[in-house]
Homo-oligomer: A and B are copies of this chain.
Amino acid sequence: MREAAEGAPSFVHLPQLGAVGATLEIAGDEAHYLARVVRVRAGERVCASDGEGGLATLEIERLAPSLRARVIEREQRMRVAELELWCGAPKGDRADWMVEKLAELGVARLVPIEAERGRWERFERRRERWERLASAALRQSRSAFRMHVLEPLALEPALTRTPGAAARWCARPDGGPATRIAAAARGPTIVAIGPSSGFSQGELKRLQESGFTAVALAETRLRTETAALAAAAVWAAAACGNAGAPPSS
Q: Hey, which chain B residues are within 8 Å of A143, CB to CB? A: 219-220
Q: Verify if A105 is at the interface (C-beta below 8 Å from B).
A: yes
The secondary structure that dominates the A interface is mixed
B-facing residues in A149-188 (Cβ within 8 Å): 171-174, 176-179, 181-182
Q: Does A46 contact B (CB under 8 A)?
A: no
Could you tell me which A residues sit within 8 Å of B by CB distance?
1-6, 97, 101, 104-106, 140-143, 171-174, 176-179, 181-182, 193-194, 196-199, 216-224, 226-227, 229-231, 233-234, 236-243, 245-249
Query: How far in angstroms is the closest Cβ of chain B from A104?
Result: 5
**B2 pairs with A194, CB closer than 8 A:** yes
Q: Are A221 and B177 neighbours in the complex by a CB distance under 8 Å?
A: no
B178 touches A1 (CB 8 A): no
- Cross-chain contact B223 with A240 (CB below 8 angstroms): no
* Assembly stoichiometry (copies): 2
The distance in angstroms between the C-alpha atoms of A193 and B219, with both chains bound, is: 23
How far is it, in angstroms, between the C-alpha of A233 and the C-alpha of B226 when the chains are bound? Answer: 9
For A177, the closest partner residue in chain B by CB is B241
Interface-central residue, A1, A4, A227, by most chain B CB under 10 Å: A1
A193 touches B1 (CB 8 A): yes
- Taking a contact as CB atoms closer than 8 A, the residue among B229, B237, B242, B248 that contacts A217 in the complex is B237
Of all chain B residues, the one with the shortest Cβ separation from A196 is: B2
Most buried by B among A172, A173, A248: A173
A220 touches B178 (CB 8 A): no
- What distance in Å separates the Cβ of A216 from its nearest Cβ neighbour in chain B? 5
The answer to whether A229 and B101 have CB atoms under 8 Å apart is yes
Given A216-B240, A241-B179, A222 and B6 touching (CB < 8 A)?
Answer: no
